[in-house]
Amino acid sequence: MWLAKVRATTGQEVNVDWQPFSLEQVNSDKGEDFKYWEQPGATDGTDNTLLAHRAGLAAKRQGKDAFESFFMALLKLRHEERKSLTDPAVMEEAVANSGIDMARFREDLADPDLLREIGESHTVAVEEYGAFGVPTYIFPNGSTAFVKMHIPPDEEAGEIYESLTRVITEARHVGEVKRPSPPWPHGLI
């Protein structure tokens, strides 16, 4: 939602190729060999742990604009209305709110190959980029960073984006910056 503000307030195009990364998988206590995308419940549709990832990939099949519209609709449902990402009705509400083709979405959502895509994306993120959380940004120059933040006011969105991008891509000696919590985010939310 922050990057949408950057686009809206600065007119700057922010190109992001969102890829699935499962927090459930990375935080699993079921052992190294356990993979959510290989479990019977995932393959037969009875376990919705990866539903939002499958839905995002299904929306992506309708093109970049369709995906971005779906993604923003889903983020609003999750972060503003506090709806569950494991509820199929929430995915369909995001589809309806985004205006993408519902019949095609349903067909694509049923494709079992989506689980393979999720597994590959997650594995690459962990093994090649060291991802451990979301969002993890991977820049064209190979710089990678996990960024935890609250959505800034419109007038600050572009400046924060420029500053963070510069630090992540150019200040290669900076490995981690972390604010103590508490007191952050005292006064922000």
Cis peptide before 180 (omega within 30 of 0): no
Under 8 Å CB-to-CB from 46, ≥6 apart: which residues? 40
Q: pLDDT tens across 58-111, in order?
A: 999 999 999 999 999 999 999 999 999 999 999 999 999 999 999 999 999 999
Q: pLDDT tens across 104-161, in order?
A: 999 999 999 999 999 999 999 999 999 999 999 999 999 999 999 888 999 999 999 9
Strands in the chain per DSSP E: 136-138, 144-146
**Are 91 and 66 spatial neighbours (Cβ–Cβ below 8 Å)?**
no
The answer to whether residue 7 scores a pLDDT higher than 80 is yes
User: Could you tell me the CA-to-CA distances from 58 to 51, 55, 132, 142, 188 in Å, in that order?
Assistant: 10, 5, 24, 27, 35
Options 1.20.120, 3.30.720, 3.40.1400, 1.10.472; CATH of 2-127: 1.10.472
DSSP code of 81?
A: S
Over residues 14-41, mean pLDDT: 95
pLDDT at position 155 is 95
pLDDT band at 47 (very low <50, low <70, confident <90, very high): very high
Comparing CA positions, the residue from 44, 49, 29, 17 lying closest to residue 119 is: 49
- CA–CA separation, 57 and 80 (whole Å): 22
Over residues 7-14, mean pLDDT: 91
- CA–CA separation, 23 and 25 (whole Å): 5
**Are 52 and 17 spatial neighbours (Cβ–Cβ below 8 Å)?**
no
